[in-house]
Amino acid sequence: MHKDIDPDNPPPTRVGCQSLVRNDRGEILVVRPTYGDRLYQLPGGHRHRGERRTAAASRELVEETGLTPPRGRLLVVDEIDERPGVHTAGLTFVYDYGTVPASTAIRLPAPPGTGEPSELDAYLWLSTDALDEHCADYMAKRIRMSERARTEETVFDLLRGDLIEPEGQH
């Protein structure tokens, strides 16, 4: 038993699930939240209690974009350190949702005029060259590493978007 962890009140860990969707021009779908830094990010959100990560990724993609492409494999696991007063530590799992036609309609949740608060207010299809202009640094890195994992048919372990080198390979 770990003496530094109370088994009745373990430290919380957020589990996030995001989706990498590309169009047939090679651009990546990103969405802009109406909260926080309001920078673009991959579609996704938090896993609900008892929900599988894969189910959470698919649910969030449908909720945020209306898209229902088949889910592919895991691309990256990105660890985010705790920021006291801001958020708990977290793990984000990014899954490959393949390629859709560039003409595919995207439906953001709660469109203006519905009386419901909107979680997202915009989306873009971005080339990897445009990520730094529209995304937080860690998110741009996460997206690039997800693309690399897709291309190299591997899974990457990240810490705030940066590759974690395996033990003994420094």
Q: Model confidence over 139-155: pLDDT tens digits?
A: 999 999 999 999 999 99
Share of the chain above pLDDT 70, in %: 86
Which residue ranges form the domains of the chain, and what is each CATH number?
A: 13-163 (3.90.79.10)
- Whether this prediction's pTM lies above 0.85 is answered by yes
pLDDT, one tens digit per residue, over 92-140 is 999 999 999 999 999 998 655 666 678 899 999 999 999 999 999 999 9
Residue 84's pLDDT band (cuts 50, 70, 90): confident
Q: Which long-range contacts (CB under 8 A, 24 or more apart) does 108-112 make?
A: 108/31, 108/64, 108/65, 109/63, 109/64
- Which residues lie closer than 8 Å to 36 by C-beta, 6 or more apart? none
Question: Measuring CA to CA, how many Å separate 122 from each of 34, 36, 62, 110?
Answer: 9, 14, 15, 12
In b/e form, how buried is each residue of 134-150, taking b as 16+ CB within 10 angstroms? bbbebbbbbbbbbbebb
Residue found under tokens 């969405």: 31
pLDDT the model gives residue 111 = 58
Q: Is the dihedral of CA 51, 56, 60, 63 positive or negative?
A: negative
pLDDT the model gives residue 4 = 57
Which of 22-26, 85-89, 100-104, 160-164 is predicted with the least confidence, judged by mean pLDDT? 85-89
